[in-house]
Amino acid sequence: MVLTVLIPSAVLLTIYILFLRKKNLDEKMLKVLGVIVFIGYSLQLWYRLPLDRTVALRGGPLSPFMTVVVVIVRWLTGALALVGISSPFFKSKSFKNIMIFISPFVLLLNLIFFKQNNIAYFGEQSLFFTEARFYAILAMLIALSVETGILILNLKKLPTRREVGKMFLVFFLLLPTMFPQAGLRIFFGRLGSVTNDFTLVHRLTVYFSFLIMPVIYIFMKNESMDNKRLLLVVLSISSVFQFLYVKRDGLAGLPFHLCNTALFLMLISFVFNSKSTFYFNYFVNVLGALCAIILPNISEDAFTLGSVGFWYNHIYAFILPILAVALGVFPRPVFKMMRSAILIFTIYFVSMMIVNAWFNNYTKVDYFFLYSDFLARKFPFAHDIRDNNILYFTGGDLVFKFYWLYNLLIYIGFIILMFLAWAVYDYLFKVADAHGALRMKLKKDRMDILQLRKELRGRPLTEPLNLEGVNMIKIENFTKIYGNAKKPAVEDFSLEVYSGEVFGFIGHNGAGKSTTIKSLVGIQSITSGRMEIAGYDIAKQPIEAKLRIGYVSDNHAVYERLTGREYINYVADLYLVPQEERDERIEKYVRMFNLEHAIDNEIKSYSHGMRQKIVVIASLIHNPKVWILDEPLTGLDPMSSYQIKKCMREHADNGNIVFFSSHVIEVVEKICDRIAIISDGKLQGIYRLDDLKEEGISLEELYMRHAKEQWA
């Protein structure tokens, strides 16, 4: 028995060692051996085994102990066959290490228990007979032996401890994919429950079907594309092997059921990178598998061959296409691909109607449940539709029966489900994009913090990056480009504003005032350049910089269902203002802006001016070092304008910075210390108001001069 395996292996290895020691021949030979293993393992599955009739280690051809041993040997051999088939086609160090270091052990077990394996496969027959499966098993074992020998001869260095650990982990993870379907019944007998009608075992299986996808995704998302493709190829090969494990006789055994067809289409998709078959699986077979998982056509005990095989097949058909897109092996589909999927599904559907009508002249078949009343039993209203709308055709001795309306409703229902599935896919794509963007942002934030620590040179993260700029706003070479626009909204803008100043920022509508301010307060990103608030870089230290900013936007958006006091307290909470300080400031500003009668009313009842006053109070509640206002006086009555201008002057006189934009020249001229003029996104000049007065130049005249130059 041992010589039957050893002699051919030794002959092949000798020929290889003496004559074929070339790298390119190594690779070709390994691929040929992988194909032989695939064919050999597939053929030996195409028969019923006497061992599989064993129930709870009783009634089989072997003793209980040897039954356990042989099942484990078959299990390990199946996992090794997966590796032997895939390894020559992928550059996986773990797979090659499995062939070099684990394969000899598994092959040795096959030699030691060769007789017991023979009995498990063939019963008490003689070893020497002509059944094809015997030679298939032999060819597979010889191919695995030669493949192992080639890899051992090419081994240049021993794997590291980490590589050994990964090798065992990968092999361990492969084992569930090749578990013998009869194993549960062989080891434990009957479970006593059927996996349908949402029994406990059915619910657990459904949960597993959904949870296994994120587990595999998390485990594989950072692997190389080659390893991701390897995973999908291995799982698709395993799915075909698990389908072949259950012997199916006659016409009813052909893989025409949607999910059975899917297993072979997935193998074609992943091995040959076939997009057409893949997206058919993605749009159609995933949905079919999901329907089968939720409404399984099973009447057997959960541990029988038929039940275990059903779940292997449908879970594979459900998860593999989704994983392929999630891992990026195939690109995300677009909606127009649905048309092709619907067309192919229509051809399949009509074909199965014809096949069912034809084959049922010879034996009972029910592909896609179009012929039996399985679905009608799930939906009782469909019984009358099925039984009362039948078309008959005859051809010779054959009778073709079509449940035309029943089948049409199934077709329409499935198409509707396909569109619903697309809606779910589209939603999940958006969730995945958001999750990916969040991960990228978190990664960028971590890198930014590391860089910031480096630039701070050991100082706390709460300290300003630029210690010399603690009393100023500093803008250096700021440029902002929106989207794919060719022209910058603001270009190469530089400015410094100091403590104690009320600084005016003027320009025509669309000049770039709001763009600059929104970047300065951190609402939008900076294309290039840098901005500092009191020494804090707004891009690198955004939280610390914003804690020192009070901002009044140009739209005065507030939470209208809050009262004025609630809104101000909400902002004070964000800035961690102590209760005593906030109460004192609220009292001060409410009196200043004459809001005593309205402060405890909902903001939705406020006028435009009152809302603007509430926004101003909220922006000052934390006594910011830098107070930034974007068009703060637009639409206000004279009294409200006077109060806000007075507040701006007072805040600057207390050693703070007031920076505000406006296109009202008279206001700027009266209250500002310095001003900057911006036009068409470019800084036109910075001027001190006292100097302009001494020179006898009005701000309006200066502004118009720049405007004429710009538009000339």
In 3-state terms, what secondary structure has residue 486? coil
Sheet with 626-630: strands ordered across:
549-552, 626-630, 657-662, 502-506, 674-679, 682-688
Q: How far apart are CA 102 and CA 700, in angstroms?
A: 87
Buried b (16+ CB within 10 A) or exposed e, 507-531: bbeebbbbbbbbbbbbeeebeebbb
Q: How far apart are CA 51 and CA 71, in angstroms?
A: 9
Q: Is 20 domain-assigned?
A: yes
Q: Is 51 domain-assigned?
A: yes
Give me 572's structure tokens: 């004070």
Residue type, 331: P
State the DSSP H helix or E strand holding residue 29, giving kind and residue range, or none if neither: helix 23-44
Residue ending a domain, among 154, 189, 224, is 189
Q: Where are the beta strands (DSSP E) in 591-712?
A: 626-630, 657-662, 674-679, 682-688
User: Are the C-beta atoms of 660 and 505 separated by less than 8 Å?
Assistant: yes
The pLDDT assigned to 3 comes to 44
Domain range enclosing 180: 1-189
Q: Is 249 domain-assigned?
A: no
**DSSP at 492:** E
Q: Is 273 domain-assigned?
A: no
Distances (CA, A) of 605 to 248, 562, 564, 599, 608: 76, 10, 10, 11, 10
Q: How far apart are CA 528 and CA 449, in angstroms?
A: 19
Give me 328's structure tokens: 């990026």
Q: How far apart are CA 45 and CA 31, in angstroms?
A: 22
Distances (CA, A) of 247 to 135, 191, 302, 506, 696: 19, 22, 18, 84, 103
Q: How far apart are CA 197 and CA 201, in angstroms?
A: 10
The pLDDT assigned to 709 comes to 58
Q: How far apart are CA 266 and CA 287, in angstroms?
A: 15
Q: How far apart are CA 114 and CA 97, in angstroms?
A: 25
Q: Is 623 domain-assigned?
A: yes
Q: What is the pLDDT of residues 333-379, one digit of tens each?
A: 888 888 888 998 999 999 999 999 999 998 888 888 888 888 888 78
Q: Quick one: CA torsion of 691, 697, 703, 704, rounded to 10 degrees?
A: -170
State the SS3 of 209-272: HHHHHHHHHHHHCCCCHHHHHHHHHHHHHHHHHHHHHCCCCCHHHCCCCHHHHHHHHHHHHHHH
**Nearest CA to 651 among 677, 676, 671?**
671
Classify the C-alpha dihedral 599-603-606-608 as positive or negative. positive
Residues 516-521: contacts with CB within 8 Å, 24+ apart? 516/475, 516/478, 516/480, 516/490, 516/678, 517/628, 517/630, 517/659, 517/661, 519/478, 519/480, 519/490, 520/473, 520/475, 520/628, 520/659, 521/546, 521/549, 521/551, 521/628
In 3-state terms, what secondary structure has residue 287? helix
Q: Is 163 domain-assigned?
A: yes
**Nearest CA to 519 among 530, 534, 508, 510?**
530
Flag residues of the chain having pLDDT under 70: 1-25, 124-131, 635, 707-712
The pLDDT assigned to 483 comes to 86
Give me 6's structure tokens: 């050893």
- 251 burial (CB, 10 Å; 0-12 / 13-18 / 19+) is middle
User: Are the C-beta atoms of 105 and 8 separated by less than 8 Å?
Assistant: no
Classify the C-alpha dihedral 452-453-458-459 as positive or negative. positive
Q: Is 48 domain-assigned?
A: yes
Residue ending a domain, among 133, 164, 189, is 189
Q: How far apart are CA 564 and CA 616, in angstroms?
A: 11
Q: How many residues does the chain have?
A: 712
CATH number reported for the structural domain that contains residue 647 in this entry: 3.40.50.300
Distances (CA, A) of 84 to 76, 94, 150, 680: 12, 12, 12, 68
The pLDDT assigned to 2 comes to 44
The pLDDT assigned to 400 comes to 92
User: Are the C-beta atoms of 491 and 528 separated by less than 8 Å?
Assistant: no
Residue 521 phi/psi, 5-degree rounding, is -95, 0
Q: Which residues pair with 549 in a beta bridge?
A: 626
**Model pTM?**
0.69
Q: Is 582 domain-assigned?
A: yes
The pLDDT assigned to 9 comes to 56
**Nearest CA to 317 among 247, 261, 252?**
261
* Cα-Cα end-to-end distance for the chain: 100
Q: Which residues pair with 496 in a beta bridge?
A: 474
Give me 609's structure tokens: 């001016």
Q: How many domains does the chain have?
A: 2
Give me 21's structure tokens: 């020691």
User: Are the C-beta atoms of 463 and 502 separated by less than 8 Å?
Assistant: no
Distances (CA, A) of 387 to 40, 295, 298, 380: 46, 22, 23, 12
Residue ending a domain, among 139, 167, 189, is 189
